[in-house]
Structure 1
Amino acid sequence: MKLVFLIADGMGGWPLKELGNKTTLEAAHTPNMDMLANKGIVGCCRTVPPSMPPGSDVANMSLLGFDPSKYHTGRGPIEAAAQGLKLDPDDLVWRMNLVNLSELSSDGIMYDYSSGHISTDKSVPLVELLQKELGDDEFTFYPGIQYRHLLVHKGGGKKLENKLSIRPPHDITDQSIALDIEEFGKSPLMNKLLRRAAEVLKDNGTKAVSIWPWGQGNPLLLPDFHEKYSMKGAVVSAVDLIKGLGRASGLEVIDVAGATGLVDTNYAGKVEAALKFLEHGDFVFVHLEGADESGHMGSIKDKITSIERFDAQIVGPILKKYPIGTASYLVTCDHFTPIEIKTHDAEPVPFILVSDKCEASGVKLFSEKNAKATGLMLDKGHELMQWVLNLTN
């Protein structure tokens, strides 16, 4: 039996006055997820341990069946794994955004964590320029996708810089960066690098005016997924975070041309890649980023559109190829990204599990409220994978 995980990153949210006190999930037209909810088990799962921040890194590690309290070292190391970087155990890896700030000082405001969703063809030359001007035996800049890049501090894992607490830039949109400037100031090395980078980026023709290193940690080590769960699996995603988790755990990482991580991603390409893998594989983890990005932007319209496209262009086509009985399905999100706060929230996420071995819940509409009302709660997200396997095998 094939096992398909369909993940709409950040799909969960809170009721909005603009939608008549409905969430964006409730307001969206989702006939495929509603049908699955009616035929499967519906409940909630805590993907983020109470002691950890509600990031996609932590939450998706849980969904893949690995305990983040044991294996998580930082956001940067996961994305470094995606690029296959060769690192020493004491290296320090930072996720590095290209951001738009009012100014690089305690009076500064974080205008945009993505520099206007800068395109990869414009961001990569900027990171290459940073490497040319500032790269040395201690720091190396690695280009990634769009606004998401990496900074490696050679031997930094045992130094002061590993203890700096820098907030994710998507958590502080339109807010003061004073706390982070103070934190960077604790390290003369990072403070100097930040300001030199701003000089390099000056007048480059884009909205990227500064680097923003955050989510640092030592290199990631995960158990082998196949050895742990006896499944040949793959991940399909536009973002390095998911690719890194996949590569670090021995899953096949499938690249899809035109996959952007936005509302206008290549849905058909992702479906085609997933279906092709399932011809010989057992498990596929299909990840869509659009709802999360829409939540960070505070766009109700785009988030509803992302959810509807996920339902119509991902869930529907895969279900058509592999009807219930030929595959088992887990449909969920990794975390909430409520429009009101434009960032992540650690509330337990709603999920649907559908298999010919599962009793129907009878839930008519898939929503946060209806999932909570079933009373089914999995408190440890990293145990969800084994729970699913126990019910479907």
Structure 2
Amino acid sequence: MKYVIVIPDGCADEPIDALGGKTPLQAANLPAMDALATAGMLATANNTPDHLPAGSEVANLCLLGYDPDVYFTGRAPLEAAAQDIVLGERDFAVRCNLVTIEDQIMVDFTADHITTEESRQLMASLNESLKFDSEFESRLEFVAGVSYRNLLLYRGDPDAKAPFSNQSRSSAPHDLTDLSVADDFPRGPGSDELVSLMNRSAEIFANHPVNKKRIAEGKKPATNVWLWSLGGAPQLPTFKQTHGVQGVMITAVDLLRGIAALVGWPRIEVEGATGYLDTDYAAKGKAAIAALADYDVVCVHIEAPDEASHEGRHDAKIEALQQIDMHIVGPLTEALKQHGDHRILVTPDHPTFCRTKKHTHGNVPLVIAGTDIKADAQTTYDEIACEAAGRRFDKGWDLMNDFIGS
């Protein structure tokens, strides 16, 4: 049996007035997804329990079959795994966004999609010039990632108290777009250290050559780092141990790369995959088709719908969905027919509303089609049809057992 999982990140939404009361999934032209809906079964799943963040870090663990109450320790440790960073039992990783804040308003949680090279220069300046007024200086390190997505690492000392704890709380910057950040700085144990680092980054970035150049080019500067979603090392059983099949991940996002590493999946890096709206959808589709020859499970994650939602652009979200349908879902559906028994699952991880520009809790629509999957009465893939189908996975981590096991 061959299995394909397609994750159009954040594609679930609410009815939008500008779309005549339709959701982006309803408004988009999605012949391949609708064909799967006609041939297969629809359902909804809740991948974001109310007491946990409504973000991709929790939702994708759930989607792949891992109970977040058991396995989730924070987003940053998952992204550390993407860079093959091993965390010890006393270590912490902290997500470090480069952001643009003006007059206490989160203008851009991506610092205008700052480049990876610019990000590396800013991270290097922090490591070289930021003088920590604390006993923890030698144990802290900023690590560059991809674009605005970076990390802060703390290497623990068995003989000293750590500056952070699992009770340190912080807000995701992508949930603060166009909002005041005055009440959302880190809080709880360890918050003083985190806030101090954020303030010091603002001092260093203020006259940094990278920002001077960006401003001259009409781009937003990275005003400071935003520290959030810290945690210690997660311990996950491999996907093969749990489900008996070997998978591979195709993504342009470190979070999914990290989850893949922790569940024992290799990653296929696709040239032209950006994690944004300009990603090469066709290249991702071709890479997934090629991977079917070597792996039981091929998982393709596409960040573009989520990015469009964070920008409040329903038109861009519709276009991203149509590109996914044309270049990924359609070709993969056809390719699977050459591999005998097969199943395909299309589902976002969490909803992201264009209206609020935020991730949100709630059910997501999903479709499963293929071998031994009985068709239901629905003929379109969207939130309304999936709700009407009546099947629900209230614990999102139960879905994978049905997809792989039944």
State if a TM-score over 0.5 links the two structures: yes
1:128-179 Cα deviation digits (max 9, x unpaired): 2222223841210111111100001222896453222210000011111111
* Deviation of the 1:323 alpha carbon: 2.7
* 1:199 paired to 2:203: yes
Aligned to 1:121, which of 110, 113, 117?
A: 117
Tell me the matched-pair count: 387
Q: What is the match of residue 262 of structure 1? A: 276
3-state DSSP of counterpart to 1:213: strand
1:68-115 Cα deviation digits (max 9, x unpaired): 110000010000011111221111111110000014xxxx11111001
> Structure 2 counterpart of 1:274, which letter?
A
Q: What is the match of residue 247 of structure 1? A: 261
Taking structure 1 as the reference length, what is the TM-score of the superposition? 0.94
Q: What is the match of residue 95 of structure 2? A: 95
> Structure 1 counterpart of 2:197, which letter?
L
3-state DSSP of counterpart to 2:301: strand
* Deviation of the 1:3 alpha carbon: 0.4
Q: Tell me if structure 2 keeps the 8 A contact 1:197–1:211.
A: yes
Q: What is the match of residue 182 of structure 2? A: 178
Q: What is the match of residue 140 of structure 2? A: 139
* Deviation of the 1:192 alpha carbon: 2.3
> Structure 1 counterpart of 2:99, which letter?
V
Please identify runs of 4+ aligned residues in structure 1 that moved more than 6 A.
none
What CA distance in whole angstroms lies between the structure 1 residues aligned with 2:191 and 2:386?
46
> Structure 2 counterpart of 1:349, which letter?
V
Q: What is the match of residue 335 of structure 1? A: 350
* 1:284 paired to 2:298: yes
* Deviation of the 1:189 alpha carbon: 2.4
Change in Cα spacing, 1:46 to 1:138, as seen in structure 2 (3 Å) is same
* Deviation of the 1:282 alpha carbon: 0.3
3-state DSSP of counterpart to 2:306: helix
* Deviation of the 1:9 alpha carbon: 0.3
1:237-291 Cα deviation digits (max 9, x unpaired): 0000001000011111111122111111122222222222211210011100000
What CA distance in whole angstroms lies between the structure 1 residues aligned with 2:188 and 2:46?
32
Aligned to 1:161, which of 159, 164, 167?
A: 164
What CA distance in whole angstroms lies between the structure 1 residues aligned with 2:395 and 2:266?
26
> Structure 2 counterpart of 1:57, which letter?
E
Q: Tell me if structure 2 keeps the 8 A contact 1:337–1:345.
A: yes
* Deviation of the 1:326 alpha carbon: 4.2
Q: What is the match of residue 21 of structure 1? A: 21
Q: What is the match of residue 382 of structure 2? A: 367
What CA distance in whole angstroms lies between the structure 2 residues aligned with 1:165 and 1:357?
45
Q: Tell me if structure 1 keeps the 8 A contact 2:206–2:223.
A: yes
What CA distance in whole angstroms lies between the structure 2 residues aligned with 1:182 and 1:41?
43
* Deviation of the 1:182 alpha carbon: 6.7
> Structure 2 counterpart of 1:230, which letter?
G
What CA distance in whole angstroms lies between the structure 1 residues aligned with 2:138 and 2:147?
26
Q: Tell me if structure 2 keeps the 8 A contact 1:15–1:23.
A: yes
3-state DSSP of counterpart to 2:94: strand
3-state DSSP of counterpart to 2:51: coil
Q: What is the match of residue 209 of structure 1? A: 223
Q: What is the match of residue 294 of structure 1? A: 308
Change in Cα spacing, 1:271 to 1:3, as seen in structure 2 (3 Å) is same
What CA distance in whole angstroms lies between the structure 1 residues aligned with 2:196 and 2:257?
32
Q: Tell me if structure 1 keeps the 8 A contact 2:186–2:227.
A: no
What CA distance in whole angstroms lies between the structure 1 residues aligned with 2:44 and 2:184?
34
Change in Cα spacing, 1:59 to 1:39, as seen in structure 2 (3 Å) is same
* Deviation of the 1:228 alpha carbon: 1.3
Query: Unmatched 5+ residue regions in structure 2?
Result: 132-136, 215-220
What CA distance in whole angstroms lies between the structure 2 residues aligned with 1:71 and 1:152?
20
Q: What is the match of residue 9 of structure 1? A: 9
Q: What is the match of residue 79 of structure 2? A: 79
1:322-342 Cα deviation digits (max 9, x unpaired): 239542101110010011111
* Deviation of the 1:374 alpha carbon: 0.9
> Structure 2 counterpart of 1:62, which letter?
C
Q: Tell me if structure 2 keeps the 8 A contact 1:100–1:112.
A: yes
* Deviation of the 1:53 alpha carbon: 1.6
Change in Cα spacing, 1:101 to 1:330, as seen in structure 2 (3 Å) is same
Query: Unmatched 5+ residue regions in structure 1?
Result: none
> Structure 2 counterpart of 1:320, which letter?
E
What CA distance in whole angstroms lies between the structure 2 residues aligned with 1:161 and 1:191?
12
What CA distance in whole angstroms lies between the structure 2 residues aligned with 1:199 and 1:334?
37
> Structure 1 counterpart of 2:271, which letter?
A
**Following superposition of structure 1 onto structure 2, how do residues 55-74 of structure 1 map, counting pairs within 5 Å?**
55-74=55-74
- What's the C-alpha RMSD, in Å, of the aligned pairs? 1.8
What CA distance in whole angstroms lies between the structure 2 residues aligned with 1:59 and 1:370?
21
Q: Tell me if structure 2 keeps the 8 A contact 1:49–1:69.
A: no
Taking structure 2 as the reference length, what is the TM-score of the superposition? 0.91
